[in-house]
Amino acid sequence: MYDPSDDEVDVERLRVLLLEKRDDLVREGDVEIDPNKIDPTERPDEDAQPLNEMNQVIASRRNKQRALVLEKINNALARLEQDPDEFGYCLDCEEPIKPGRLEVMPWALYCVKCEDRRNPRVSHRRRHALDFDE
């Protein structure tokens, strides 16, 4: 049976979650990006170079994603301080965001339906072997 209290936002619980997630991200810090060449007099290993460059790209993307999440967390904490009664409600439809979504992403601004409408998911699944031929 549906209980309307299931949709109520526990603001204090979300504040604690946001602070915990922020502390975890700050404690983890950036992923170290290894330089391509340590010693300028040393000849680089041509076989290791592509792997090193790929690792640099991955580390850079992780650092950008981490910074983005930290920004979202800080913005959510600011919203929580400014207007705790409105926190946890979708900015588009103004309906409560489901508690499960807020447990995973306490910085969420939109419910799943509005988020999907704003940012439709694109399937990158290959349907045919020649789909990616240039």
Spans of all domains in the chain: 7-34+49-118
Using CB atoms within 10 A of its CB, is residue 54 exposed (0-12), middle (13-18) or buried (19+)? exposed
| CA dist., res. 9 & res. 53, Å (int) | 44
The pLDDT tens digits of the residues spanning 92-129 come to 999 999 999 999 999 999 999 999 999 887 666 666 55
| pTM score | 0.69
Distance of CA 7 to the CA centre of its chain: 23
Q: Which CATH number fits domain 7-34+49-118: 3.40.50.880, 3.30.1490.20, 1.20.120.910, 3.10.450.50?
A: 1.20.120.910
pLDDT of residue 68: 94
Matching residue, tokens 């045919």: 128
The pLDDT tens digits of the residues spanning 32-91 come to 877 665 666 776 667 777 778 888 888 889 999 999 999 999 999 999 999 988 899 999
